[in-house]
Chains A and B, each alone.
Chain A
Amino acid sequence: MNNPVPMHRKYFRIFIPLLSLLSALCLGALVIALADRDPLMIFQKMFYATLGSSYGMGQVLFKMTTFIFVGLAVAIPFRLRLFNIGGEGQLLMGAFAAALTGAALPETIPSTVAIFLCTLAAMTAGACWALLAGVLKVQYGVNEVISTIMLNFIAQGITGYLLTCHFALPSTVHTTPVTAAATIPTFYKVAGWFTNSPANFSTIVALATALLCWFMMFHTRFGYEMRATGLQPDAARYGGINATVHTLTAMGTGGAAAGLGAANIILGYKHYYEAGATSGIGFTGIAVALLAGAHPLLLILSALFFGFLEYGGLTVNSMIPKEIFMIIEAATILLVISFTALGKRLL
């Protein structure tokens, strides 16, 4: 028994996501064909519009960045068996906070300070919103799925009300743009990469955050306790581990990650908050995290894949409805989950 994981099993682990992606694409092709379009042509077009152009690649990176953040928002609590459905609400609160802070800052403030303050505001808002669910959980045992869903509605209500009744510029649906100092520079502006695309330095922060989360989960005592609590809560209690602390930090960190995703959208691209600014991206985070098995490094790949689908879907929007790509996304998740279950039974 020297080799607990036989080789074929290791390969199988890598094959499962690949196999499910492949079958999802086939299914996608079938759906496109059913919609009376040529799947090959559509895929080709998508490919050229994304990976074939520097603008397209920038767009994919920009989407990927947000997906990494909202994916982490789900993945970190998921390690504790907490299902954070509230990424969307945390993203909304974060976006609103970033936009308001950015608009309130004086123009003369140094750029690094301004970006730092706005990002901090976004992270705090996201973290607080997620912590609400955490506190409800540890204090009253409220199921986090229910509380985060409800908090999504409340976040929508709050931001919607504050926008229309207090902060929207006259005859628009958006807030005052943030001060120029608070905008996160795009790669194009600084280095001339990714022609005109919104890809900005948040991407680097996203990669670093994913790496940091991975390190925290798998190489620190904190992560050791946290994973143990998620795997066997009863054993963790016997081992003297304080589950309350871990529940709160995991939810808080998750919410803060969603806040960073909001900073990418607001400070890196839109520069103001508008109605529908987050457009349900927070929910896609659930899919991103599940596809990656809540592993922070694999999550980068799964965010890239979803970024590709999301922007690819937009580029062929004139030929095929975007809904087709929603079908592909959702089908991929279902297939991954089924394949994983099947793989477990086979081995």
Chain B
Amino acid sequence: MAVALRLSAVTKKFGNFTANSNISMSIEKGTIHAIVGENGAGKSTLTKMIYGMHLPTSGELFIEGKSRRFASPREAIRAGIGMAHQHFMLVPELSVTENIILGHEQSHLFSSLPLKNAKATIKKDAETYGLAVDPDALVTTLSVGEQQRVEILKLLFRQASIMIFDEPTAVLTPSERERLFETLRSLRSQGKTIILITHKLDEVLSVADTISVMRKGEIVGTVAASSVTKQELARMMVGRAVLMSVANPEASPGKTVLSLKSLGYRTRQGEVKLQNLTLQVRAGEIYGIAGVEGNGQSELLQILWALTSGEEIISGEAVVNGASIFGKKTADRVLMGIAYTPENRLRHAVITDYTVAENLLFGRHRERFFHRGAGFNNHVVNRYADELITDYDIRCGTPAKQPLSALSGGNQQKVVLARELNRPAISLLILAQPTRGVDIGAIETIHKKIIAARDRGMAILLVSSELEEIMTLSTRIGCIYKGSIRHEFSQEEVSEKKMDEQEFQKEIGFHIT
């Protein structure tokens, strides 16, 4: 088969830091070639070089046998390379067609746009590849899946023959994901070459032909997808054997800690986000809430952490250890023994410009233990930081100097978890998407710590859109759908059904859609 893209000994350095080291690989025409690796393994740098956003420090890039050097994405696009970014590059106020032709108008600056021709081309492409989307709709009105289709149509419109997809499934629901894979397959059958960047191993195995694994800036191996297992891939990525799911001994729950009774949430516009939601979380158990995002999970978390704006209508009861949490401020809820790790860590759980040590204090800075005079006792804080850093295997430099933003996603998450799990006298821990964007190796550590916290007698409420995570960790599982718990699996059911993961996943999937 013909080689569409070949890299020969490509190296990229940023100052002293080598992001990509001596990378050589060939990507064959008409295949789906996945590049997997943990966060920070150098996947993005590699794709940015292919797409002309970075120039390689050394080495060569060949497109269909010809050596090329792209100084800008414009040149790469002209050479037939297209990229669907993880965060869509769309203008919400423009229509689908306008977005697609943006930057590729094929007309003079002050002449009228050839919208009609463009629309015809887009329609044809959409039909060929099953990318149904209304070319006249405004992008704001589209769902996430539809927006992604627009991104793909954009690539087709520019007649890209090599298409790079950067973490394309990160924002998709399971059904949208299947649909995307269908599209990718049909693109392949039309002779397009697809480069898929991801860290989700299941997806890679189901859709890719060839897989290259990156670690620490190098390609550690390229294998055929049909000849490799998930465990082997994980091992190549992390460099050691990884427990795909940590040991989870049977829990022995105690008294009820959190009790929600017919909780309701209505926005000022009258939209019902939660209705009649009832659940209990007991000490020493993990209650997993499974569900597709947008079924009331964020509203539930808002209520639990006093983040509602006060304009919503909230009904029902929310009781922690016998006392209602309504009307209590966030700082007071901490005193009631509640800890919370929000799903959007970078925005909500940390101050990225603060140092690692300062972040380990954040939200706990009111605890007397750390105080001296009007400030902090640096000695105590540093000792505390060192302890947590060792305990949670947080990889960082000097905690009192290094800003948190310099850490990888997994390590940032560990900072947040270490801080919250270590709170004195906590009885209820609320975890929202605790491993989103976290490396496989770090997931293992985090899961172990969560189970250890449970065994110490904490009541844990786990909200996650990863079914696998819910199944691995939960003692009981509640399926949330349209703002209420539609079905609850008891402890016995969970431990029994866990034996057959595939089947259990299907069953949960049935209750949440």
Query: A residues engaging B (CB < 8 A)?
Result: 1-4, 6, 219-222, 224-225, 227-228, 231-232, 234-235, 237-242
Contacts and interface: CB of A to CB of B under 8 A. Distances in A.
B305 A238 contact: yes
Contacts of B305: 238
B406 A1 contact: yes
A235 B363 CA distance: 9
Given A2-B398, A4-B403, A238-B363, A224 B376 contact: yes
Contacts of B354: 228, 231
A22 to B, nearest CB: 27
Nearest to A216: B374
A240 B363 contact: yes
Residue among A221, A227, A235 facing the most chain B CB atoms (10 A cut-off): A235
Secondary structure type dominating chain B contacts: loop
B307 interface: yes
Contacts of B375: 219-221
Nearest to B306: A240
A240 B347 contact: no
Interface residues of B, number: 35
B350 interface: yes
A2 B371 CA distance: 27
Shortest 9 CB-CB distances between A and B: which pairs?
A: A240-B331, A240-B330, A239-B363, A2-B397, A220-B374, A238-B348, A4-B402, A219-B375, A220-B375
B383 interface: no
B376 A221 contact: yes
A321 B416 CA distance: 59
B406 A4 contact: yes
Contacts of A6: 15
Contacts, number: 73
Given A2-B398, A235-B347, A238-B349, 8 more contacts: A1-B396, A4-B401, A4-B402, A220-B375, A222-B374, A235-B348, A240-B366, A242-B331
B347 A234 contact: yes
A337 B456 CA distance: 53
B358 A224 contact: yes
B133 interface: no
A3 B17 CA distance: 12
B401 A238 contact: no
A2 B407 CA distance: 11
B352 interface: yes
A220 B375 CA distance: 4
B72 to A, nearest CB: 16
A242 B15 CA distance: 42
Contacts of B342: 238
B362 A228 contact: yes
Nearest to B356: A4
22 contacts: A1-B402, A2-B397, A2-B398, A4-B406, A219-B374, A221-B371, A221-B374, A221-B375, A222-B374, A224-B358, A228-B362, A231-B353, A235-B348, A235-B349, A238-B330, A238-B349, A240-B329, A240-B331, A240-B334, A240-B363, A240-B366, A241-B331
Contacts of A240: 329-331, 333-334, 363, 366
B79 interface: no
A225 B331 CA distance: 13
A69 to B, nearest CB: 23
A140 B402 CA distance: 39
Residue among B354, B362, B365 facing the most chain A CB atoms (10 A cut-off): B362
B201 interface: no
Contacts of B402: 1-2, 4
